[in-house]
Amino acid sequence: MKLYANRIKQLRDEINKHNYSYYILDAPKIPDAEYDRLMRELEELEKKYPELIASDSPTQLVGARALGQFEKKKHGLPMLSLENGFSEEDIINFNQRIQDKLETSHDIKFCCEPKLDGLAVNLTYFKGHLELATTRGDGVSGEVITHNIKTIKTVPHHLKKIPGESFPEIIELRGEVFLSKAEFERINQEAKEKGDKIFANPRNAAAGSLRQLDARITANRHLSMYYYGVGEVKDFNLPSSQYSILELLEKWGCPINPEIKIVTGYKACLDYYQKILAKRNNLPYEIDGVVYKVDDIKQQRELGFVSRAPRWAIAHKFPAHEEMTEILAVEFQVGRTGVLTPVARLKPVNVSGAVISNATLHNMDEISRKDIHVGDWVIIRRAGDVIPEIVSVILDKRKNTHKITMPKNCPVCDAPVERIEGQAAYRCTGGITCRAQLEEGIKHFASRRAMDINGLGDKLVEQFVAEGLIKSIADLYDLEISQLINLDRFAEKSAENLIAAIDKSKSTTLGRFLFALGIRDVGETTANLLAKNIADIHKLFDISEEDLQQIPDVGPVVAKHIVEFFSQTKHQKLIERLIKSGIHWPKITKNTHQPLLGKTFVLTGTLEKYSRDEASDLLENLGAKVTNSVSKSTSYVIAGESPGSKIDKAGALGVEVLDEVAFLKLLSKTALHN
Ligand code: IVH
């Protein structure tokens, strides 16, 4: 018993400390998933030993007490929290408890809503006018943030009048204030440029933006809000279900999440969970789960509350985007331009459904900015398809760690490592003699968006380099079937296929070829721009930085890298050798003859031969206009593989649709395409 009492106190103190960091400082020290685990442990212990529940236990309160910068106001009705469910079993139990308490075996009707990852606010409307807005605070009273809430464009200052109906004397409308993913990126990008504080996630950024003393700052952050419920109401009969209340709010002009659905039975809730989970990465805002609410208000009343949460609702949480783990070691990877990138080897941990064991640390400046040591416990985050990254170090847990240092010699070829002037990056000086640089260069050259050599995967490149078959990119085009079939695991057929794919790659575009060369800072877009403006690659051999900067979007840094690359004899020789082995591209000359002038094209689906940009360029060069959406004035829709709804629209408007074959025919008919 003593043991449990100690643990309960320890958990209470720890969670209260985290509540302060989270709610007041907007800077949590541990991931939400870890917080949830601590809270669960405390809840379970308190369930077993109810006599040990203290009045200041975080299970009895919501959030944390306000910081004191803002005026505080009591809510008309307390703002409660939600019970969390993590598994199907948790939801089955939730449903069972409800059916038992209501003494029914009928399926329950639930209102299913996305659980937005922002912060709860309470907006009080007097006779339809927004007069007061507060944060949730500790659930009983919150901070007055009316001036800041009013900067949110979609929040009505006056509710819209419904003809023949009057407004309640007082109504508290509740909802979630949040930042879109795009706004979050923008704010952090700007903060980075100014050297200001970076927010760990959109929720902290939203909280930080809302709790500003200067409303002009809040206005610049472009917050959003969805309404999801009602608190105190005076002199008004609300509709009898959660869903119809939301419909009323919508009529009053309050934004409601469009993903909200009404379903019958818990199984349909689980289907809803899966559907929203599948959509999660494509939604423009962060959600951390879904909420199921018993729809019928009469049933809600019957069910009532337990401590800080209603019995009639549950949050079904998604796998967390953030977790904590330990850095076991840091290794340095050598990229194709020789830059050494520090990579953390992590104790494997499941983050939003995938096991993560590595995370890039970007560069040494990032390491010192985040103060990362080997042996540290860190919060790692993997949102959507984004590469996992280390958000921050959990300093409280630091013990016996050591600093990360850049090696003096390349871990692959042992050549000296030097710092690139004016940059955070360090580079191996081994050049093409460094196996890692050669390998990465070839992998990039062969990749789908570059020369697109089908079947030449990473493993094969490594094998060719290790066997000494390839010492330069150009050696690829001298490979012979007889050399390949001598290699391990290479059958005649696969050798033939690879040689055929290498051969096929010879027919390309200038943009792809320039991109494939792997010039520093020259991505696909810049490569295509260069190709468009410099029809003859030889012109690049002695071009000046000034001339390059005449090209739109080419700045001084990129221009410098391009000149650096093409002025080197070894690169000029490489290009000549590649052209000699048969690499060629259609000549796009700026022509005065524009046979497609006045015609408008729309592209949809994937073409086999050209990327969308390349196809647009070809058409535009012939005088055509390329637009994004089909209208009556569209001349042709060009449809590749898996076209979108544009095809249907074309059909409805009677616009002619060309497949890839017909498109290529049209191009060759102009006789400018060879
Ligand atoms: S209802 C009595 N609905 O989740 C029920 N909450 O963990 C009170 N949240 O404080 C909340 N989306 O900040 C509700 N559709 C939604 C929600 C939602 C996000 C947040 C809200 C609340 C927290 C509870």
Structural contact between residues 82 and 315, judged by C-beta atoms closer than 8 angstroms:
yes
Q: What is the per-residue DSSP string for 68-105? A: SSS-EEE-SS-----EEE-SHHHHHHHHHHHHHHHT--
The whole-angstrom distance between residue 636's C-alpha and the CA centroid of its chain comes to 35
Q: Phi, psi at residue 672, to the nearest 5°?
A: -105, -5
Ligand 1 within 6 A of CB of 116? yes
- Centre of ligand 1 to C-alpha 281, Å, is 20
Ligand 1 within 6 A of CB of 228? yes
- Centre of ligand 1 to C-alpha 35, Å, is 17
Residue with tokens 């912060």: 119
Q: According to the model, what pLDDT value does residue 385 have?
A: 66
- Centre of ligand 1 to C-alpha 81, Å, is 7
313-323: pLDDT as tens digits: 999 999 888 99
Q: Active site residue: 29, 73, 115, 293, which one?
A: 115
288-345: pLDDT as tens digits: 999 999 999 999 999 999 878 999 999 999 988 899 999 999 999 999 889 999 999 9
CA dihedral 376, 381, 386, 390 (to 10 degrees): -20
Q: According to the model, what pLDDT value does residue 594 have?
A: 76
- Centre of ligand 1 to C-alpha 78, Å, is 13
228-285: pLDDT as tens digits: 999 999 999 999 999 999 999 999 999 999 999 999 999 999 999 999 999 998 999 9
Task: Give the residue, out of 82, 242, 269, 316, with the most ligand 1 atoms within 8 A of its beta carbon, to mutate for a pocket test.
Answer: 82
- Centre of ligand 1 to C-alpha 369, Å, is 35
Render the burial of 439-449: b for 16+ CB within 10 Å, e for the rest. Answer: bbbbbbbbeee
Ligand 1 within 6 A of CB of 85? no
Structural contact between residues 403 and 303, judged by C-beta atoms closer than 8 angstroms:
no
Query: Does the pLDDT value for residue 59 go beyond 70?
Result: yes
Ligand 1 within 6 A of CB of 315? yes
Q: What is the per-residue DSSP string for 443-472? A: HHHHSTTTT--TT--HHHHHHHHHTTS-SS
**DSSP β-ladder status, 340-351 and 354-360:** antiparallel
Q: Which atom of ligand 1 is nearest to the CA of 115?
A: 12
Q: According to the model, what pLDDT value does residue 63 have?
A: 58
Q: Tell me the average pLDDT of the chain.
A: 90
Query: Does the pLDDT value for residue 518 go beyond 80?
Result: yes
The pLDDT confidence band at residue 674, using thresholds 50, 70 and 90, is very low
**79-93, 103-117, 418-432, 570-584: which range is least confident on average?**
418-432
* Crossing angle for the helix pair 266-279 and 88-102, to the nearest 10 degrees: 150
Q: How far apart are CA 330 and CA 346, in angstroms?
A: 9
Structural contact between residues 281 and 275, judged by C-beta atoms closer than 8 angstroms:
no
- Centre of ligand 1 to C-alpha 295, Å, is 15
- Centre of ligand 1 to C-alpha 384, Å, is 22
Q: According to the model, what pLDDT value does residue 211 have?
A: 83
Query: Does the pLDDT value for residue 121 go beyond 70?
Result: yes
Contacts 24+ apart (CB under 8 A), 613-621: 613/511, 613/524, 613/525, 613/528, 614/509, 614/511, 614/512, 614/528, 615/663, 617/511, 617/528, 617/532, 617/588, 618/586, 618/588, 618/667, 618/673, 621/588, 621/590, 621/591, 621/672
Percent of the chain topping pLDDT 70: 97
Q: According to the model, what pLDDT value does residue 374 have?
A: 97
The pLDDT confidence band at residue 176, using thresholds 50, 70 and 90, is very high
Structure tokens at 229: 């419920």
Structure tokens at 591: 């022509």
**DSSP β-ladder status, 417-419 and 426-428:** antiparallel
CA distances 138 to 1, 52, 660, Å, are 30, 22, 62
Q: According to the model, what pLDDT value does residue 673 have?
A: 43
Residue with tokens 């860190």: 378
Q: Which atom of ligand 1 is nearest to the CA of 229?
A: 1
Q: Which atom of ligand 1 is nearest to the CA of 84?
A: 7
Handedness of CA 361, 364, 369, 372 (dihedral sign): positive
Q: How far apart are CA 328 and CA 240, in angstroms?
A: 56
Average pLDDT over residues 169-176: 98
Query: Does the pLDDT value for residue 501 go beyond 70?
Result: yes
Is residue 194 annotated as a catalytic residue, yes or no? no
The pLDDT confidence band at residue 110, using thresholds 50, 70 and 90, is very high
Task: Give the residue, out of 113, 123, 138, 291, with the most ligand 1 atoms within 8 A of its beta carbon, to mutate for a pocket test.
Answer: 291
Q: How many CB atoms lie within 10 A of CB 558?
A: 22
Ligand 1 within 6 A of CB of 276? no
Closest listed residue to residue 478, CA positions, set 585, 580, 584: 580
Q: According to the model, what pLDDT value does residue 196 have?
A: 79
Q: Phi, psi at residue 276, to the nearest 5°?
A: -70, -35
Q: According to the model, what pLDDT value does residue 431 have?
A: 81
**13-17, 82-86, 146-150: which range is least confident on average?**
13-17
* Minimum CA distance residue for ligand 1 atom 9: 115
Upper half-sphere CA count for residue 473 (Cβ side, 13 Å): 27
Ligand 1 within 6 A of CB of 81? yes
Task: Give the residue, out of 77, 84, 115, with the most ligand 1 atoms within 8 A of its beta carbon, to mutate for a pocket test.
Answer: 115
Ligand 1 within 6 A of CB of 176? yes
Query: Does the pLDDT value for residue 225 go beyond 80?
Result: yes
Q: How far apart are CA 526 and CA 553, in angstroms?
A: 8
Q: How far apart are CA 394 and CA 86, in angstroms?
A: 25
**169-178, 521-530, 590-599: which range is least confident on average?**
590-599
Q: According to the model, what pLDDT value does residue 590 have?
A: 61
Task: Give the residue, out of 39, 116, 134, 300, with the most ligand 1 atoms within 8 A of its beta carbon, to mutate for a pocket test.
Answer: 116
* Minimum CA distance residue for ligand 1 atom 18: 115
